[in-house]
A and B are shown apart, each in its own frame.
Chain A
Amino acid sequence: MRIAIQSWLDERFGLQAIMDFLKKKTVPQHKHTIWYYSGSSILLFLAIQVITGFMLAFYYKPTLEEANKSVARIMTEVPLGWIIRSVHFWSSSFMIALVFIHLIGIWLVKSYRNPRELTWMSGVFLLIVTLGFGFTGYLLPWDDLSLSATKVGTDIPRSIPVIGAWVTKFLRGGDDVTGDTLTRFFSFHICILPIFIFLIIAVHVYLIQKQGMSLPLAVEIKKEKVREIPFWPNFIYREMIVWLILLGVVFSLAVFFPPSLDKQADLMAPAPEGIKPEWYFLFLFQTLKIFPAKILFVSGDTVAVLLIALVGVLFFFLPFIDSKPSETKGKILTLIAYAFIAYAVAMTAWSLLE
């Protein structure tokens, strides 16, 4: 019976060809192999986000009057609704953290080098889209904190010369954060960004399959024969262990540390004190804060935003800047990676302690 179903499906989907490909695919084993696990774990959290997101969307109403009330209803009336929301919240944080870890890992082992430039660039796009999910999702509970944080967040692009005001207006759907911003963010969160993320993941995964798993520069330079294991089933079993542990940690955190919900946002009320974005934006937020109001004759915010944008562009084109990573420039860029990590951690800690 099982064989009959299998061959029926194989005839239609060509499953055997996929299985043959997976069996032929190999994964190098070396001291940096741990970085390989971060990619699939991101997909695991994306799957959790999609499932819990669907469940939340059954009850969520993206209107000015109903948004906060519907989230409150999810948390108090819907059976285990608070856990679903909590898993969605924690899973998003884990996903973003893993995207950061994945990219930093690739940067440190120099896996972006020729011919994997496009794989790196699609990865940076994935980071941007993932952060977009975090930013748009933060407003959806429509409480005081999310409203104020979104006002601050959408005001930042205004400092960009020429297009800044237009970007802010586009994000808000008007001059200020209103109900239109809420519906706009909701459609970004559940329609536009998911399309982007699945498209980019498809390209990213295709490129990884096309180019094969990269070897870290340090391993490649040694020119020693690296042990390889089959992706299926040897590597998948190892990945399953990582997934199980991560699942356990996320569910436990979701039960013991669920996110609370503040009272409904009041558009006329002044911003509450101590507004802070989510942890993944804290280092950028703190960077903006340390800039003075004026630098020579230019606004400090404009300088800060342009500097951040410049760093972002350099980060995106890293494979072309560091085209020969084994040379001195490559070593300097590795040091810059460590400096960036130290800076981001220090700024985040500073912002949390303030």
Chain B
Amino acid sequence: MKLRMMKKFAIKKKFLVWLLFFTFFFLLFFAQPQFSQEAKPAEQGKALKPEKSPEKIVPSPANIKEAVGIYVFLAWMWLSIIVLIYFLRLKIKEVDRLHRLGYFSGEKK
């Protein structure tokens, strides 16, 4: 029983480590070009040029209302994701139990 719990914990830990690894990998890897786009001209030895080309469009929320709307949406989205994952984990436990009992194959062990 203890061994099974330890195994389960190890799998969860492994999953979390992988998840964190990929999240940070993507964040670091993909964010880099964005940072470079916003690098100050002085760093590139072009101190006399304006900081940003006037034609360059760096997207952002149009106004404070849109910005608040987006951040509230993001917060709700993550909250919903966490709640859904919690329910999905419960469902997984249940369907795994049913599978062990042979419910899906129509057999009873």
Contact = CB atoms under 8 A, between A and B. Distances in A.
Interface of A: 23, 34, 72, 75-76, 80, 82-83, 85-86, 90, 93-94, 97, 229-230, 233-234, 237-238, 240-241, 244-245, 247-249, 251-253, 255, 257-264, 279, 352
A255 B85 CA distance: 22
21 contacts: A34-B18, A72-B57, A75-B59, A234-B95, A234-B96, A234-B99, A237-B91, A237-B95, A240-B84, A241-B85, A244-B85, A244-B88, A249-B23, A253-B30, A259-B59, A260-B58, A261-B56, A261-B59, A263-B53, A263-B56, A264-B55
Q: Specify the main secondary structure of chain A where it touches its partner.
A: helix
B82 to A, nearest CB: 9
Contacts of A86: 59
Contacts of A279: 29-30, 33
B5 interface: no
A234 B58 contact: no
Contacts of B104: 23, 230
Given A240-B88, A253-B27, A263-B53, A247 B59 contact: no
Contacts of A259: 34, 59
Given A257-B31, A260-B58, 14 more contacts: A230-B104, A234-B99, A237-B92, A241-B85, A244-B81, A258-B60, A259-B34, A259-B59, A260-B56, A261-B57, A261-B59, A263-B55, A264-B55, A352-B32
Nearest to A240: B88
B9 interface: no
